[in-house]
C-alpha cells in the first residue's frame, strides 16, 4: 500500500505530515511512501533525507495523489488536488468538516474515506493520535513567547541596587491544553499567573502549575462528556464578565485560548474591558481564526487600542513548523497503525472501533 503526501501552500501552512523518521517507520511496516519533490525543503529537510529511507519522490502532484492508497495532509487539499482523489482512497488530516461540508460531501460521493483527526474521541487509547493536544501544546507556548516580545517591560521580578522591578501579571483565558502550556511557560519565566475556565475541573490543573484559578461564585461545571467546554448560560456570562472586568485592570498580558469545537469563538473580553486595561498591556488571541475571544481581534494584525496591543494569527504554528511537524507526523502514524491490518496488509475501516467511527466523516 502507498502512503503519499504533497506540498501545501507555504503561505498558509508550513507543517508537513510525513517526516523522514516517520517515513522509515511506515516502510518498516510494509508501506511504500511517496512525496512531492521539495516536500519539506523549507524546513531544511532535503529530499535526500527521505530518499535515504526509501521514499519515492515525484515532481508531479497529480501522480502523488493518484498513486496513493492513503493521502495524509495537514489541511483539506485545494479543489484541483481534490479532483485527483479516487474511490476507496483514504484522506487523513485536519479537514475542518464544519467549514468544508460541501467539498467533503463531494468526496463522500466519490467514495473517498475521509478521516478528520480533530474529531478524535477523548479516550486514553487515542492520546498518541491526538493532534489537537500536540499542536495546542506548542501554540500555548508560542503565544506566550510572542506576547512577551510585544511587552515592553521585564517579565520576572528583579531586585537591583536601583530599585525593584515587579513581576508581570499574566491572565490565561481557557485552561485547556494550550492554556495549561501557556500557564507553565509564563510561570517558568517568573510571571505571576492567573487563569479562568468554565470547566471547574480545571482548577486543580491550574493550581498544580502554580497559577491562581479565578472562578465566579456558585459556578457550575460547563464541560461536555468529551472534555470540551460548552456554551455558558447568560447568568454565568454576566458574572464572568464582572470578574474579568475587575481582574483585567491589574493584568499586563492576556493569553486567550477559549474555543468551542465547530462554533464561533466566544467573545469573552469586551471592548469596555480593554479600555480599562493599563497602557502597554498585551493580549494574544489564539482563537483569532474562529472570530477571537476579544471584541477587537483581527487576524494577522496587531491592533492597538488605548495603548493595549491585541494580536492574533491565522496559524501560529507556522512559527514552529519543525517541532509541530514532528509531533503531527507521529500522531498520523499512530492513527494509521490503528487503521492498518498487519495480517491482510490492508486498511480495515472497523466502525466498531470508536476512534475510526468518530473520525470517519460519513
For residues 245, 198, 237, 284, the Cα torsion angle rounded to the nearest 10 degrees is: 50
Q: Which of 28, 41, 83, 127 is catalytic?
A: 127
* C-beta of residue 50 within 8 angstroms of C-beta of residue 57: yes
Check residue 148 and give left, alpha or beta (phi > 0: left; psi -120 to 50: alpha): alpha
Q: Tell me which residue of 225, 233, 216 sits closest to 261, measured CA to CA.
A: 225
Q: Which of 89, 133, 135, 181 is catalytic?
A: 133
Range 232-244 burial, b when 16+ CB lie within 10 A, else e: beeebbebbbebb
Alpha-carbon distance of 206 to 181, in angstroms, equals 10
Concerning whether 127 is annotated as a catalytic residue, the answer is yes
Q: How many CB atoms neighbour CB 245 within 10 A?
A: 15
Q: Which of 53, 122, 128, 353 is catalytic?
A: 122
Q: Which of 73, 130, 141, 252 is catalytic?
A: 130
In the beta sheet, which residues pair with residue 303? 310
Alpha-carbon distance of 270 to 239, in angstroms, equals 14
Q: Which of 188, 228, 323, 353 is catalytic?
A: 228
Please report which residue ranges of the chain form alpha helices under DSSP H: 20-28, 47-51, 61-67, 79-82, 101-109, 131-150, 177-188, 202-208, 234-248, 271-275, 321-339, 354-359
For residues 207, 182, 216, 312, the Cα torsion angle rounded to the nearest 10 degrees is: 180
For residues 220, 222, 226, 227, the Cα torsion angle rounded to the nearest 10 degrees is: -90
Concerning whether 133 is annotated as a catalytic residue, the answer is yes
Concerning whether 50 is annotated as a catalytic residue, the answer is no
Active site residues: 122, 127, 130, 133, 228
Amino acid at each position: 500500500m502507498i502512503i503519499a503526501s504533497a506540498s501545501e501552500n507555504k503561505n498558509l501552512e508550513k507543517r508537513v505530515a510525513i517526516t523522514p523518521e516517520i517515513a522509515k517507520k511506515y516502510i518498516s511496516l510494509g508501506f511504500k511512501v511517496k512525496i512531492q519533490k521539495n516536500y519539506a525543503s523549507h524546513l531544511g529537510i532535503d529530499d535526500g533525507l527521505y530518499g535515504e529511507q526509501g521514499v519515492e519522490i515525484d515532481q508531479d502532484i497529480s501522480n502523488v495523489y493518484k498513486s496513493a492508497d492513503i493521502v495524509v495532509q495537514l489541511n483539506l487539499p485545494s479543489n484541483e488536488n481534490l479532483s485527483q482523489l479516487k474511490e476507496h482512497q483514504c484522506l487523513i488530516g485536519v479537514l475542518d468538516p464544519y467549514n468544508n461540508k460541501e467539498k467533503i460531501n463531494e468526496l463522500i460521493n466519490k467514495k473517498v474515506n475521509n478521516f478528520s483527526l480533530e474529531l478524535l474521541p477523548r479516550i486514553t487509547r487515542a492520546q498518541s493520535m491526538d493532534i489537537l493536544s500536540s499542536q495546542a501544546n506548542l501554540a500555548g507556548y508560542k503565544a506566550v513567547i510572542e506576547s512577551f516580545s510585544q511587552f515592553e517591560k521585564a517579565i520576572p521580578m528583579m531586585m537591583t541596587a536601583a530599585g525593584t522591578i515587579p513581576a508581570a501579571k499574566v491572565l490565561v483565558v481557557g485552561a485547556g491544553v494550550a492554556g495549561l502550556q501557556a500557564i507553565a511557560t509564563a510561570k517558568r519565566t517568573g510571571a505571576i499567573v492567573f487563569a479562568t475556565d468554565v470547566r471547574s475541573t480545571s482548577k486543580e490543573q491550574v493550581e498544580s502549575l502554580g497559577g491562581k484559578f479565578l472562578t465566579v461564585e456558585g459556578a457550575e461545571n460547563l464541560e461536555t462528556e468529551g472534555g470540551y467546554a460548552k456554551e455558558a448560560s447568560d447568568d454565568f456570562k454576566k458574572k464572568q464578565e464582572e470578574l474579568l472586568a475587575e481582574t483585567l485592570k491589574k493584568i499586563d498580558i492576556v493569553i486567550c485560548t477559549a474555543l468551542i469545537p465547530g462554533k464561533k469563538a466566544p467573545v469573552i473580553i469586551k471592548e469596555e474591558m480593554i479600555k480599562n486595561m493599563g497602557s502597554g498591556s498585551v493580549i494574544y488571541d489564539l482563537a483569532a481564526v474562529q472570530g477571537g475571544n476579544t471584541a477587537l481581534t483581527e487576524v494577522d494584525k496587531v491592533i492597538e487600542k488605548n495603548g493595549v496591543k491585541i494580536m492574533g494569527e491565522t496559524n501560529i504554528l507556522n512559527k514552529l513548523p519543525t517541532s509541530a511537524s514532528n509531533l503531527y507526523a507521529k500522531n498520523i502514524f499512530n492513527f494509521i497503525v490503528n487503521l492498518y491490518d498487519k495480517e491482510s496488509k490492508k486498511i480495515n475501516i472497523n466502525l466498531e472501533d470508536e476512534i475510526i467511527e468518530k473520525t470517519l466523516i460519513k
